[in-house]
């Protein structure tokens, strides 16, 4: 297995890092990045990296954006989990690097209600 602890690159990853770094404390940002690194180590341990359903960019988005509601972009009108989820969904919907059908809420793709499908037979992860 060829595995290294690096962060995804590209426009979507850059938008995520820029948003989180500018709106959260350094401690929360670092916690979120560590969450991604630990999740990827676990995915490697479970044999998921070679699985067709494994999506590193979505794992990065989910882990690094998971505390977005604790930052200064949240207005404090709802629980931080709710505001953070809404902020993350808005960011992902606006970003061209995310396949439209994968955007939370469908994102306006060909089948807006479609969810990610696991190939018949399930995942090869242990």
* Per-residue pLDDT at 85: 86
* Per-residue pLDDT at 15: 92
* Per-residue pLDDT at 111: 39
Which residues in the chain come in under a pLDDT of 50? 107-120
Residue 36 CB-density burial (10 A; 0-12 exposed, 13-18 middle, 19+ buried): buried
Q: What is the pTM of this model?
A: 0.75
Domain ranges of the chain: 11-102
* Per-residue pLDDT at 62: 94
């Amino acid at each position: 297995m060829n595995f290294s602890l690096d962060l995804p690159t590209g426009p979507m990853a850059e938008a995520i890092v820029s948003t989180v770094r500018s709106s959260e404390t350094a401690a929360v940002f670092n916690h979120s990045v560590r969450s991604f690194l630990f999740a990827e180590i676990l995915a490697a341990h479970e044999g998921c990296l070679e699985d067709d359903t494994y999506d590193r960019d979505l794992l990065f988005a989910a882990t690094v954006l998971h505390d977005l509601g604790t930052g200064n972009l949240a207005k404090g009108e709802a629980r931080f989990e709710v505001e953070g989820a809404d902020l993350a969904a808005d960011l992902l919907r606006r970003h061209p690097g995310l396949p439209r059908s994968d955007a939370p809420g469908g994102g306006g793709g060909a089948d807006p209600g479609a969810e990610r499908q696991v190939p018949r037979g399930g995942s090869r992860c242990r």
